[in-house]
Amino acid sequence: MAPGWLTKVVAAAGAAVVACAAVAQPVTITQSQLLDRYEGFWLAECIANWTGLRTEGARINPPFLTDADWGLPFGVGGPLDFVLQTPWGADDDTDIEYVYLHLMHESGTPWLSAERIRAGWRTHINRAIWVSNANARALMERGVTPPATGMSAANFGRLAIDAQLTTEIFGAVCPGDPALALDLSYLPIRTTSVGHASHASQCYVLMHALAPLAPAGASGRERAIWLVQSAREYLPPTSKAVDVINVVLNDFLANPDVNNWERTRDLVYQRYHANAGANGFTYFGWTESSVNFATGLIALLYGEGDLRRTIQIGTLSGWDSDNGTATMGGLLGWMNGAAWVRAQFPGQTLSDRYWITRTRDNLPDYLPLESPAEDTFPLMAQRMLEVAKTCVLAGGGSIDTSVSDPVWTLPERNVPVGARALANPVRRETDASAARWIREQGGWATASSSVAASPPSGRGSSNTAVLADGRESNQRGLDEIWFQDPFYTTQRPAGPEQAWLRVDYSQPIEIRGVRFIEGDRFADQTGDGGFFVDPIVRVREGGVWRTLTERASTLPAADVPFQVFTFVLTQPAMVTAIEVSGVQGGTSRFVTCSELDALRANAAIFVGGPRCTGLDVTNDRALDLADLYSLHDAPTDANADGLGDERDRVLVLSVLRAGERRGLLRD
Q: Are strands 488-489 and 592-593 parallel, antiparallel or unpaired?
A: antiparallel
pTM of the model as a whole: 0.90
Give the closest residue to 220 by CA, choosing from 332, 313, 324, 323.
332
Q: What is the pLDDT of residues 356-404, one digit of tens each?
A: 999 999 999 999 999 999 999 999 999 999 999 999 998 889 999 999 9
Using DSSP's 3-state secondary structure scheme, residue 275 falls into coil
Q: Are strands 88-89 and 353-355 parallel, antiparallel or unpaired?
A: parallel
The C-alpha angle with vertex 549 and arms to 548 and 550, in degrees rounded to 5, equals 95
Of 211-220, 350-359, 416-425, 537-546, the least confident: 416-425
Q: With contact defined as beta carbons under 8 Å apart, do 127 and 363 qualify?
A: no
527 pairs with which residues across the strands?
524
Residues 513-538 as b/e (b if ≥16 CB within 10 A, e otherwise) read bbbbbbbbbbeeeebebbbbeebebb
Considering the domain 444-600, what is its CATH architecture? Sandwich (2.60)
Q: In angstroms, rounded to a whole number, what is the distance separating the alpha carbons of residues 290 and 201?
A: 11
Between 552 and 658, where is the model more confident? 552
Q: What is the pLDDT of residue 6?
A: 31
Q: What is the dihedral of CA 415, 420, 423, 427, to 10 degrees?
A: 180
Q: What is the pLDDT of residue 651?
A: 61
Using DSSP's 3-state secondary structure scheme, residue 389 falls into helix
Kindly report the average pLDDT of the chain as a whole number. 89
Reported confidence tier of residue 656, pLDDT bands at 50, 70, 90: low
Reported confidence tier of residue 643, pLDDT bands at 50, 70, 90: low
CA 474 to chain centre: 16
Cis status of the peptide bond prior to 147, with omega within 30 of 0? yes
* Whether pLDDT at 302 is above 70: yes
DSSP string, 201-267: HHHHHHHHHHGGGSPTT--HHHHHHHHHHHHHTTS-TTSHHHHHHHHHHHHHHH-S-TT-HHHHHHH
Strands (E), 404-497: 407-409, 445-449, 488-489
Domain(s) labelled CATH 1.10.4080.10 in the chain stretch across: 28-409
Quick one: what percent of the chain has pLDDT higher than 90? 76
* Whether pLDDT at 438 is above 50: yes
* Whether pLDDT at 197 is above 90: yes
CB within 8 Å of 645: residues ≥ 6 apart: 635
CATH fourth-level superfamily of 28-409: ADP-ribosylation/Crystallin J1 (1.10.4080.10)
Q: Are strands 564-583 and 544-547 parallel, antiparallel or unpaired?
A: unpaired
* Whether pLDDT at 45 is above 70: yes
Q: Are strands 522-524 and 88-89 parallel, antiparallel or unpaired?
A: unpaired
Q: With contact defined as beta carbons under 8 Å apart, do 324 and 248 qualify?
A: no
Q: In angstroms, rounded to a whole number, what is the distance separating the alpha carbons of residues 529 and 535?
A: 14
Domain(s) labelled CATH 2.60.120.260 in the chain stretch across: 444-600
Between 377 and 551, where is the model more confident? 377
Strands (E), 450-594: 488-489, 498-517, 522-524, 527-529, 536-541, 544-547, 564-583, 592-593
Q: What is the pLDDT of residue 621?
A: 47
Q: In angstroms, rounded to a whole number, what is the distance separating the alpha carbons of residues 164 and 160?
A: 9
Q: What is the pLDDT of residues 243-292, one digit of tens each?
A: 999 999 999 999 999 999 999 999 999 999 999 999 999 999 999 999 99
Q: What is the pLDDT of residue 648?
A: 67
End-to-end CA distance of the chain: 28
Q: What is the pLDDT of residues 600-642, one digit of tens each?
A: 987 766 665 554 445 667 765 455 677 777 777 777 766 555 5
Q: What is the pLDDT of residue 325?
A: 98
Q: What is the pLDDT of residues 170-195, one digit of tens each?
A: 999 999 999 999 999 999 999 999 99
Neighbours of 450 (CB within 10 A): 13
